[in-house]
Amino acid sequence: MQTVHLSNFEFDFQQRSVRLTIIAYATVALLIIMTANTLSLALVYTALFFGVAVLLYWLLRKSQVRYTLTATHFQQHTFRGGWVIKWNNIQEINQCTYNIDGWHQPLPWVGIRLKSYSPYLNSICPRIISEILLSQRGLLYLGMKQHHIQLSEFEDIVLDPSLYRSVDGQLYSGLLAMLANRMSYQRNYHGYDIFIPMSDLGIQGDELIGMARRYIAAAEPELSHQ
């Protein structure tokens, strides 16, 4: 299976549109700098344009989310870090839905159900855990609502700091425990542990699901799975 790269948007200095934008920005900046009445003012303009360029580049990189699909694993890359999942640790991948009176309404999330939490928890960058916990609060709320759980319990479980022990005996605390507990709650309410916003993919959700299932089918089975 070939390696595939996905992203919520493309930003590459080799792209013609990016190079044209840089040339246009540099041209405008140079013209303004050349009109400066004094050397000190020209230096101020230079520093200002350079600072704006660096800020824009940083904002673009910060907002970019990328995914890599290889023959062995599925990986997320963000400005803060990411995670890695081996294909043979995925039990199911599908679009998340919301049950309203027996009707399943699709949600803009791709859900992944794992066979074991430990490999995922051991691979994830701690810097993105807080972002996951905060950005998926609404999904947790919907899950509780569709299962008719008293919403007064939401505050108790939204950031559950209880120690978490995995099925293979590993004990997790702190942010990792919060993430593991959240995954457990989400599995009870939605049937999945990990959720990927479709807006982060750059392709349709069903395209990723179909692609991922082909990688899962082609992946070598894990010889010893705890």
Query: pLDDT tens for residues 64-74?
Result: 899 999 999 99
**Do 13 and 109 share a structural domain?**
no
**Do 200 and 112 share a structural domain?**
yes
Q: Confirm whether 226 is domain-assigned.
A: no
Give, to the nearest 10 degrees, the angle between helix 39-63 and helix 16-34. 160
Q: Confirm whether 223 is domain-assigned.
A: no
**Do 94 and 51 share a structural domain?**
no
Q: What is the mean pLDDT of the chain?
A: 90
Q: Confirm whether 81 is domain-assigned.
A: yes
**Do 87 and 58 share a structural domain?**
no
pLDDT exceeds cutoff 60 at 224: no
d(CA 76, CA 66): 6
Backbone φ, ψ for residue 185 (5° rounding): -65, -45
| Residue at which a domain ends, from 30, 48, 63 | 63
**Do 109 and 82 share a structural domain?**
yes
| Residue at which a domain ends, from 41, 63, 85 | 63
d(CA 206, CA 196): 12
Q: Confirm whether 16 is domain-assigned.
A: yes
**Do 146 and 82 share a structural domain?**
yes
The pLDDT assigned to 223 comes to 60
pLDDT exceeds cutoff 60 at 61: yes
Split at pLDDT 50, 70, 90, the class of 80 is confident
The pLDDT assigned to 226 comes to 39
**Do 122 and 104 share a structural domain?**
yes
**Do 205 and 151 share a structural domain?**
yes
- The secondary structure of 149-168 as a DSSP string is --GGGHHHHTT----EE-TT
pLDDT exceeds cutoff 90 at 6: yes
- Model pLDDT for residues 118-161, shown as the tens digit of each residue: 999 999 999 999 999 999 999 999 999 888 888 788 988 999 99
The pLDDT assigned to 225 comes to 43
Q: Confirm whether 43 is domain-assigned.
A: yes
Q: Confirm whether 26 is domain-assigned.
A: yes
**Do 169 and 123 share a structural domain?**
yes
pLDDT exceeds cutoff 80 at 163: yes
- CB burial of residue 93 (10 Å; 0-12, 13-18, 19+): buried
**Do 91 and 70 share a structural domain?**
yes
pLDDT exceeds cutoff 80 at 2: yes
Question: How many domains are there within the chain?
Answer: 2
- Model pLDDT for residues 81-111, shown as the tens digit of each residue: 999 999 999 999 999 999 877 788 999 999 9
Q: Confirm whether 112 is domain-assigned.
A: yes
**Do 92 and 178 share a structural domain?**
yes
How does DSSP classify residue 101? Answer: T
Question: Residues 19-30: what's their mean pLDDT?
Answer: 86
The pLDDT assigned to 152 comes to 80
d(CA 194, CA 111): 6
**Do 134 and 29 share a structural domain?**
no
The pLDDT assigned to 36 comes to 85
Split at pLDDT 50, 70, 90, the class of 1 is confident
Q: Confirm whether 127 is domain-assigned.
A: yes
Split at pLDDT 50, 70, 90, the class of 206 is very high
Boundaries of domain holding 50: 8-63
